[in-house]
Amino acid sequence: GYRLSYSAQKLVRKDMNGQSDPFFTISINKGGKVVPIYRSEVVKKTLKPEWDAVEMSLREVGGLDAPIYIDVDDFDKDGGHDRIGKVTCTLRDFILGGGLTLPIVKGNADKSSGGLNVMKCEPLPYEPMRPPPPPALELPFSRVHLARKALAGHSDPFFVIEVSR
């Protein structure tokens, strides 16, 4: 996996105060559907936000060359967020392009809505996949005509299972 640090620059103004409240959503293609896998925090009143780092695994995104869609939006309290723009890239783009700035575009417009900066792309420590544990051993037991050993006329049976390797 990788830890990615993002920022943006020269975002378009979406709020009345001449700023934006940007956040981004990362989505991937899963089974023919675009599915969101991460949403950043909102950075208030800025056109050049720096967001918290994101951790992504190769398995999660579908490999180095699977498309990753990053939507950058301006947060509005009423939930009607304004689209700033979109970036389509791959994890390989991030790995090879530390310090890379990708243009944020809205629709088919040639005009940029700003730039998404990949400030850092750090590999995470390798964690080998562990095999799943073996299925539990099921031993069905039942009682049949137990001898009465206790003074009260019943039995308190038990057994011991020993495993040797």
Q: pLDDT tens digit string along 126-157?
A: 766 556 556 666 667 776 777 777 666 677 67
**Strand pairing report for 33-39 and 22-30:** antiparallel
Range 17-42 average pLDDT: 93
Confidence at 60, pLDDT banded by 50, 70, 90: confident
Q: Count the Cβ atoms, other than its own, within 10 Å of residue 32.
A: 5
Residue 145 backbone zone (phi > 0: left; psi -120 to 50: alpha; other: beta): left
Spatial distance between the Cα atoms of 129 and 58, rounded to a whole number of angstroms: 13
The pTM for the full model equals 0.72
Spatial distance between the Cα atoms of 158 and 12, rounded to a whole number of angstroms: 75
Assigned token pair, 131: 């095999």
Assigned token pair, 116: 């998404």
Range 101-108 average pLDDT: 85
Spatial distance between the Cα atoms of 120 and 122, rounded to a whole number of angstroms: 6
Please give the pLDDT value at position 10.
Answer: 94
**End-to-end CA, the chain:** 37
Instruction: Single out the residue of 90, 122, 83, 125 nearest to residue 105, CA to CA.
Output: 83
Please give the pLDDT value at position 133.
Answer: 59
More confident residue, 89 or 110: 89
The yes-or-no verdict on residue 113 having pLDDT over 70 is yes
Q: Over pLDDT 70: what percentage of the chain?
A: 82
Range 1-13 average pLDDT: 91
Element (H, E) at 113: strand 112-123
The yes-or-no verdict on residue 165 having pLDDT over 70 is no
